[in-house]
Amino acid sequence: MTIEKCINEYDASEVVFEEGSTGRELFVVLEGKIDIVKDSGAGRTVIVSLGKGEFFGEMAVIDGSSRSATAVAAVSGTKVMRINHARFVYLVSQQPAFALMIMDALSKRLRASNAITFKAATP
């Protein structure tokens, strides 16, 4: 598969994937911006905005679980590259720096989530 077939372009507000959907791909932002959002009765809450070089969707590619949030293009012309499970496994096995980058990002995201949860639980 050529690299061009792995790149998608999105208009502003176009959904890359929905919370609860299944998928065995992660995505890297090549251009533009992606908002990771949670939907509620009150509307959408942006959890994080990601720019060039940042990735998302890694939890589903690692454990096969459903998506925990929705990914939406924040601006027109946003380009992302899809990395399927097979490529992900190859990269992790052949490029230790890639594996460390994924673990570092997951660790930071977990710490941030824990900090928010702890802050909300503290009276």
- Domains in the chain: how many in total? 1
Task: Tell me whether strands 78-84 and 43-50 are parallel, antiparallel or unpaired.
Answer: unpaired
Nearest to 69 by CA among 2, 16, 106: 16
- Tens of pLDDT along 22-48? 988 999 999 999 999 998 888 888 988
pTM: 0.84
- Tens of pLDDT along 33-87? 999 999 888 888 898 899 999 999 998 898 888 998 999 999 999 999 999 999 9
The enclosing domain of 54 has a CATH number of 2.60.120.10
Whether the Cβ atoms of residue 27 and residue 81 lie closer than 8 Å to each other:
yes
Nearest to 84 by CA among 2, 18, 6: 6
What's the start-to-end Cα distance of the chain, in Å? 53
| Spacing of C-alpha 19 from chain mean position | 11
**Domain limits at 112?**
3-121
Nearest to 60 by CA among 28, 38, 85: 85
Beta bridge partners of 43: 40
